[in-house]
Structure 1
Amino acid sequence: MDASDLRIALFSGNYNYVRDGANQALNRLVEYLLRQGASVRIYSPTVAEPAFPPNGEVVSVPALPVPRRPEYRWPLMIPPRVKRDIRKFQPNIVHVASPEILGHRAVTLARRMGVPAIASVHTRFETYLRYYGLAFLEPLILAGLRRFYRRCNAIFAPSESMAQLLREQRMNYNVGIWSRGIDTDIFNPGRRDLEWRRGIGIEDDVPVIGFVGRLVMEKGLDVFSDAVDLLERRQVRHKVLVVGEGPARDWFEKRLPNAVFVGFQGGEDLGRAVASMEMLFNPSVTETFGNVTLEAMACALPVVAAIATGSESLVTDRVTGRLVRPGAIETFAEALTHYCQDEEARRAAGAKGLEVSRRYGWDQVNEALVGGYIRTIRQSARPARSPVP
Structure 2
Amino acid sequence: MRVALLAESFLPHMNGVTGSVLQILRHLAAEGHDTLVIAPRAGEVDGDLHGARTELLRSVPLPGYPDVRVVFARAARLTAILRDFRPDVIHLASPFVLGWQGLAAADALRVPAVAVYQTDIVAYARKYGMPRATSLVGRHVSRLHRRATITLAPSSPAMRQLEELGVDRLRRWGRGVDSVRFAPHRRSERWRSQVAPGETVIGYVGRLAPEKQVEDLAAVADLPGTRLVIVGDGPSRPALERMLPRALFTGHLGGAALAETLASFDVFVHPGESETFGQTIQEALASGVPVVATGVGGPVDLVRSSIDGWLYRPGDLSDLRARVADLVGDDAKRRAFAAAAEESVRHRTWDALCSQLIGHYEDARMLRPIDDALLRRAATRPSAPPAAPAARPRWSRYVALGDSLTEGLCDTSRMPAGQHRGWADRLAQLLAHEGSDAEPFRYANLAVRSRRVRDLTEEQLPRALALRPDLVSILIGANDLVGRPVDIAALAAEVETSVRALRDAGADVLLVTPFLPRRRAAVLLGRRFAAFASELRRVAADTGAILLDMESLPAIGDLELWASDRVHLRSRGHRFLAYRAADALGVPDAGALGGLDAALHVDDDPVAEGTWLGRDVLPWVWRRLHGRKAGDGIAAKHSGYVIIGGRGDVRSRARTP
TM-score by length of 1: 0.91
Match of 1:29 in 2: 24
Distance 1:130 1:8, change over 3 A: same
Q: Secondary structure of the equivalent of 1:10?
A: strand
Rounded to whole Å, the distance in 1 between the matches of 2:184 and 2:85 is: 45
In structure 2, runs of 5+ residues without a counterpart are: 375-525, 536-657
Question: 1:236·1:337 contact (CA, 8 Å) conserved in 2?
Answer: no
Distance 1:81 1:217, change over 3 A: closer
Q: Secondary structure of the equivalent of 1:262?
A: strand
Q: Secondary structure of the equivalent of 2:220?
A: helix
In the alignment, is residue 8 of structure 1 matched against residue 3 of structure 2?
yes
Query: 1:165: Cα distance to partner?
Result: 2.8
Question: 2:75·2:102 contact (CA, 8 Å) conserved in 1?
Answer: no
Q: Match for 1:63 among 59, 66, 88?
A: 59
Match of 1:287 in 2: 275
Matches within 5 A, 1:199-238: 199-200=194-195, 202-203=196-197, 205-225=198-218, 227-228=219-220, 232=222, 236-238=224-226
Rounded to whole Å, the distance in 2 between the matches of 1:146 and 1:79 is: 20
Question: 1:11·1:97 contact (CA, 8 Å) conserved in 2?
Answer: yes
User: Letter of the aligned partner of 1:117 in structure 2?
Assistant: A
Q: Match for 1:329 among 292, 312, 317?
A: 317
Rounded to whole Å, the distance in 2 between the matches of 1:303 and 1:51 is: 32
Question: 2:78·2:101 contact (CA, 8 Å) conserved in 1?
Answer: no
Q: Match for 1:138 among 122, 134, 140?
A: 134
Matches within 5 A, 1:1-389: 6-50=1-45, 52-55=47-50, 56-78=52-74, 80=76, 82-171=78-167, 173-200=168-195, 202-203=196-197, 205-225=198-218, 227-228=219-220, 232=222, 236-382=224-370, 383-384=373-374, 386=527, 387-388=531-532
Question: 1:18·1:51 contact (CA, 8 Å) conserved in 2?
Answer: no
User: Letter of the aligned partner of 2:206 in structure 1?
Assistant: G
Which structure has the larger Rg over C-alpha atoms? 2
Question: 1:178·1:366 contact (CA, 8 Å) conserved in 2?
Answer: no
Q: Secondary structure of the equivalent of 2:23?
A: helix
Query: 1:286: Cα distance to partner?
Result: 2.2
Question: 1:41·1:57 contact (CA, 8 Å) conserved in 2?
Answer: yes
Query: 1:273: Cα distance to partner?
Result: 0.3
Percent of aligned positions with the same letter in both sequences? Answer: 29
Distance 1:51 1:146, change over 3 A: farther
User: Letter of the aligned partner of 1:189 in structure 2?
Assistant: P
Query: 1:121: Cα distance to partner?
Result: 0.8
Rounded to whole Å, the distance in 2 between the matches of 1:371 and 1:83 is: 25
Describe the superposition over 1:118-146 as per-residue Cα deviations: whole angstroms up to 9, x where unpaired. 10011111111232222454222211110
Describe the superposition over 1:279-301 as per-residue Cα deviations: whole angstroms up to 9, x where unpaired. 10000122211111111111211
Question: 1:63·1:74 contact (CA, 8 Å) conserved in 2?
Answer: yes
Which has the larger displacement, 119-128 or 57-66? 57-66
Query: 1:192: Cα distance to partner?
Result: 0.9
User: Letter of the aligned partner of 1:25 in structure 2?
Assistant: S
Q: Secondary structure of the equivalent of 1:265?
A: coil
Question: 2:95·2:116 contact (CA, 8 Å) conserved in 1?
Answer: no
Rounded to whole Å, the distance in 2 between the matches of 1:183 and 1:98 is: 21
Rounded to whole Å, the distance in 2 between the matches of 1:9 and 1:359 is: 27
User: Letter of the aligned partner of 1:175 in structure 2?
Assistant: L
Distance 1:80 1:168, change over 3 A: closer
Match of 2:446 in 1: none
Distance 1:264 1:70, change over 3 A: closer
Question: 2:75·2:104 contact (CA, 8 Å) conserved in 1?
Answer: no
Rounded to whole Å, the distance in 1 between the matches of 2:175 and 2:118 is: 10
RMSD of aligned Cα (Å): 1.9
User: Letter of the aligned partner of 1:156 in structure 2?
Assistant: L
Rounded to whole Å, the distance in 2 between the matches of 1:260 and 1:253 is: 9
Query: 1:154: Cα distance to partner?
Result: 0.7
User: Letter of the aligned partner of 1:325 in structure 2?
Assistant: R
Distance 1:305 1:94, change over 3 A: same
Query: 1:49: Cα distance to partner?
Result: 2.7
Match of 2:494 in 1: none
Describe the superposition over 1:216-259 as per-residue Cα deviations: whole angstroms up to 9, x where unpaired. 1211112222x125xx2xx5321101111222222111111111
The answer to which structure, 1 or 2, has the higher relative contact order (CA under 8 A, 6+ apart) is 1
Describe the superposition over 1:7-61 as per-residue Cα deviations: whole angstroms up to 9, x where unpaired. 2121111122311011111111012112111121111111333474544221022
User: Letter of the aligned partner of 1:309 in structure 2?
Assistant: G
Question: 1:277·1:301 contact (CA, 8 Å) conserved in 2?
Answer: yes
Describe the superposition over 1:70-119 as per-residue Cα deviations: whole angstroms up to 9, x where unpaired. 22211101375543221121112111123322211110111121111110
In structure 1, runs of 5+ residues without a counterpart are: 1-5
Rounded to whole Å, the distance in 1 between the matches of 2:277 and 2:232 is: 18
Rounded to whole Å, the distance in 1 between the matches of 2:142 and 2:101 is: 16
Question: 2:2·2:88 contact (CA, 8 Å) conserved in 1?
Answer: yes
Distance 1:127 1:317, change over 3 A: same
Rounded to whole Å, the distance in 2 between the matches of 1:190 and 1:315 is: 21
Match of 1:3 in 2: none
Query: 1:167: Cα distance to partner?
Result: 2.2
Which has the larger displacement, 161-170 or 111-120? 161-170
